[in-house]
Structure 1
Amino acid sequence: MTTPRIAVIGTGTIGSQTLWQLSKLDCEATGYELFSPGHSRGAAGGESRLFRHIEIEDLQYQPILERADELWKDLEAATGLKLRDISGALTFSAESAPATRIALQSAVLLGDRVEVMTAAEAKSRFPMYETDPDEIVILDKGAGTIFPEKTIRTAAAAANANGATIHTEARVTDIVQDGDEVAVTADGQTERYDRVIVAAGAWTATLLPDMAPYLATRRVLSTWFLPRTGESLEGMLPYIRTEPNYSYGLPTVDGLAMKLGLGFANHLPVDSPDTARMNVTDEDLQAVRSLVRRFLPHLEDYPMRMTPYFEAYTHNRHEYVAPHPGMPGVLVLAGFSGKGFKTSPVIGEIAAREVLGLEQKIDAKFLLDGQRVRVQDL
């Protein structure tokens, strides 16, 4: 029996983890990267991402988060590098919000790994955060900050060390199913593979036009705010706040500033990351500045730094983990924004085992059989 040849297109948040998982299995794994692993243009830019155990969307993700935590530890152990700072994180959610019911059920499953507080109790313990009176606040003790660029570089290097190949600064221009094989063309050179995994993030619809109806490509802003004169970030934890005031924040490693981001409604629709506007206007900043004034008044309300980058969402916000609609040999991994980085190791494991026909380590049926929604079906 010949060794399967598997290609991974994109070695970012999901692709680097997928390549690492493939490199540990019986196959010949090759990655294609438009820039280099850990670049700042895609969804992994911005120095930090939030890892949390509390689930606010769907309890089917709870085992996914638990397995992801195990694999984060495996990657750190395999490389000897610290990829996360697990010092706790907060979840803020209004009592009437649909996410609150799910968060509280998640808290029950997690037991003494979390603490549930009223708004008044949270204000007493964490006075730097303003709360609405009807909010509940959950302290997730096993949550914290992920270092995304470092993680991607580490996963890619670990895959290399296991024998995988990565072509950097390689623009894939064509992917074609040809019988039982898939032909990949990059920079004028074509290679044939048994299976191909596309994890191209915001470039997915550009590379695979048939995927465009399933995805919403967006320009996202990360912003960093300094504390006001005489204030500090001491005691601040990473946080996430659910709708209707969705936002997330993470203190920088050096304690200098607070990184803040908003949700889908505040992201700029773009046709392609290759042609999107990169300048940031004061109008672009209005929503996040309003959030700071309302919930984080000890911060200056104009950011010291702002960075645009690109993400892809599905229209129903459930990730696309399925074969390409016209090419059964191509597994597409897309639309992870909002929950991709914290689960990326387990998504990589699921994808690697799926293309090789191996039994999954955990029940991934709800991801692999998830509903695919096109924009015209909404």
Structure 2
Amino acid sequence: MNTEKPATQKQIEGEQRRVAVVGAGIIGTMSAWQLAQRGHSVTVYDQWNTPNDRGASAGESRIFRTLYKEGPEYVEFIQRSGEKWQELESAQSVHVLEWCGGLTIGRPDHPDVAAVLECADELDLDHRVLDADAMRNEFPAYGVDDDEIGVFDPNAGVFRPELAVLAARNESIRLGTTYRPYSEVLNIRPLADRVMVHTADSADAFDSIVIATGPWAAELSGLSAGTIFNKQLVGCWFPAADVAVHEPSRMPISIRRHPEGAFSGFPCLDGVGVKILTHHLEWPRIDNVDSLSRFVDPAFVRSAETAVARLMPGLDPTAVRVSTWTEGFTPDGAPIVGPSPIDDRIVLAVGMSGQGFKFSPMVGSVVADIITSGASNDALDIMNPSRFTTGASS
């Protein structure tokens, strides 16, 4: 990207703008939907098709939760995202979010369990605290020790991420968005009166650009090296002896914290098994996203199998399917959403740090607000790009 910062172009609220969205995962497609709703002319570029299994919007299932251990400042943002998810489902007549509830399981003094309880109490959020006997009776899919509890979040659920991306894509297309799959953006060049997007086949002029490139964000974002780094995520699927006990109607999503294993648990969506995403081993960093390995270090698979054998009594502790994908992380674990330090006609929506899927509709809404009027009342300070830059627009 050309780093010379030209004079900015004044934004006039209500004016239709030509907007390019680079990246067609869940953040890019949600941004396209929200921009098209506001009447802008939107073109979405992706180096692959959309959806695909190469970025962060993959893996069969994702979690929606509102009792948020990451901090109460996110909760209203997440709640409003839930409303927009329902709006999208209604507009497209699809079902992508199963409201199965969610559990945080562990000893009461574990930091993540304590943080969830503190969030619920501070914001007076609906929840239940179950002791070990109540957990075994109500949610038999999860094995618990006598000194553990489960904190139940009724406003939680499980996504089908690939279908969610399709829904956002299709709704944005219905509203006039154009998609250009298999069109890798090679360069973004700000000029005085326009911003150019260069691919191998064309150079196109736009008024504004959205960078929503997920794990590839470092290449076009204009952020300094190290601001976004990528990790390999590994999901393992385990067959259930009794599938009915592990379906969304009886098995909530979970954040599990135990001395012998930590993981996210996802109910059975394929009629066969449960997905486990381990947390107790450090996810390996990836220098080159394009070389993401589809082969997994056996230590990760064995760690998941060991945790399942100890903590998931209804599953065969043999991983029958293993999948990898990748995500971009920031040093503080919060996303980057706001104007670029290079040019405020370029809006960043990157570095989701494993959090972004659930609140992607509100990220898209904030992006659309910024492009439409220069600011958003819904923007969260914790996501402001200026925390990593100097001279960035706020």
Q: 2:321 aligns with which of 302, 305, 311?
A: 305
Classify the secondary structure of the residue corresponding to 1:356: helix
Contact 1:14 1:340 in 2 (8 A): yes
2:372: which partner in 1?
A: 356
For the pair 1:73 / 2:86, whether they are aligned, the reply is yes
| Paired residue type of 1:195 | S
Give the 5 Å matches for 1:97-116.
97-108=110-121, 113-116=126-129
**CA–CA separation in structure 1 for the residues paired with 2:281 and 2:371:** 34
Q: Which residue of 2 aligns with 1:273?
A: 289
The alpha-carbon distance between structure 1 residues 286 and 373, as it changes in their structure 2 partners (threshold 3 A), is farther
Say yes or no: does 1:192 pair with 2:192.
no
Aligned position for 1:236 = 251
AA in 2 matched with 1:293: A
Hey, what's the Cα distance between the residues in 1 that align with 2:119 and 2:226? 33
* Amino acid of the structure 2 residue aligned with 1:57: E
Partner of 1:319: 335
**1:91 Cα offset (Å):** 1.6
Find the aligned partners of 1:284 and 1:307 in 2 and give their Cα distance: 11
Equivalents in 2 of 1:211, 1:224: separation in Å?
37
- The one-letter amino acid of 2:308's match is V
Go from structure 1 to structure 2 and tell me whether the alpha carbon gap of 1:315 and 1:219 turns closer, same or farther (over 3 Å shift): same
Distance 1:317 1:365, change over 3 A: closer
Distance 1:362 1:323 in 2: 14
**Does 1:12 pair with 2:28?**
no
Q: Identify the residue that residue 205 of structure 1 maps to in structure 2.
A: 218
The question of whether the paired residues in 1 share the 8 Å contact of 2:281 and 2:300 is answered with no
Percent sequence identity is: 27
Q: Partners of 2:290 and 2:217 in 1: how far apart?
A: 12
Following the alignment from structure 1 to structure 2, what is the Cα–Cα distance between the partners of residues 265 and 177? 42
Q: Which amino acid aligns with 2:336?
A: Y
In structure 1, give the amino acid aligned to 2:272.
L
Structure 2 counterpart SS, 1:205: helix
Counterpart in the other structure of 1:368: 384
Whether 1:164 aligns to 2:177 is yes
Which sections of structure 2, spanning at least 5 residues, go unmatched? 1-11
Kept after mapping to 2: 8 A contact 1:214/1:373: no
Measured after TM superposition, the shift of residue 52 of structure 1 is 1.4
Instruction: Output the CA distance in 2 between the equivalents of 1:135 and 1:340.
Output: 29
Structure 2: distance between partners of 1:300 and 1:348 = 40
CA 167–103 in structure 1, closer or farther in 2 if over 3 Å, else same: same
Tell me: CA distance 1:286–1:25, structure 2 relative to 1, closer, same or farther (3 Å): same
What secondary structure, in the 3-state scheme, does the structure 2 residue paired with 1:266 have?
A: coil
- After TM superposition, the score normalised by the length of structure 2 is 0.87
Cα distance in 1 between the residues matched to 2:93 and 2:240:
34
TM-score by length of 1: 0.90
Contact kept, 8 Å, 1:90 with 1:138, in 2: the verdict is yes
Correspondence for 2:307: 291
Q: 1:258-302 CA deviation, whole Å, 9 max, x = no partner?
A: 011123853221112212322224233122122212211332222
Cα deviation per residue 1:170-225 (whole Å; 9 max; x = unaligned)? 11111122235322111241112222111111111234474541012112111110
1:217 lines up with 2:233 in the alignment: no
Separation (CA, whole Å) in 2 of partners of 1:335 and 1:246:
23
Which range is displaced more, 48-57 or 132-141? Answer: 132-141
Aligned match of 1:40: 53
Q: Is the 8 A contact 1:95 1:136 kept in 2?
A: yes
Distance 1:4 1:224, change over 3 A: same
Asked if structure 2 preserves the Cα contact closer than 8 Å seen for 1:204 and 1:211, the reply is: no
Against the structure 1 CA distance between its residues 47 and 373, is the aligned structure 2 distance closer, same or farther, given a 3 Å change threshold? farther
Secondary structure of the 2:49 match is: coil
Any gaps of 5 or more consecutive residues in structure 1? none
Partner of 1:139: 152
Are residues 1:89 and 2:102 paired? yes
Question: What code does the residue aligned with 1:163 have?
Answer: G
| 343-352 or 251-260, larger mean C-alpha shift | 251-260
Q: Which residue of 2 aligns with 1:28?
A: 41
Distance 1:121 1:370 in 2: 46
Between 172-181 and 360-369, report the one with greater CA deviation: 360-369
Q: What's the RMSD between the two structures over aligned residues?
A: 2.6
Name the amino acid aligned to 1:317: G
Give the Cα–Cα distance (whole angstroms) in 1 for the partners of residues 264 and 243 of structure 2: 24
Runs of 4+ in 1 over 6 A off after TM superposition: none
1:121 is displaced (CA, Å) by 2.6
Distance between the aligned counterparts of 1:180 and 1:99, measured in 2? 49
User: Which amino acid in 1 is paired with 2:50?
Assistant: P
Are 2:30 and 2:360, in contact at CA under 8 Å, matched by a contact in 1? yes
2: CA distance between counterparts of 1:73 and 1:211? Answer: 37
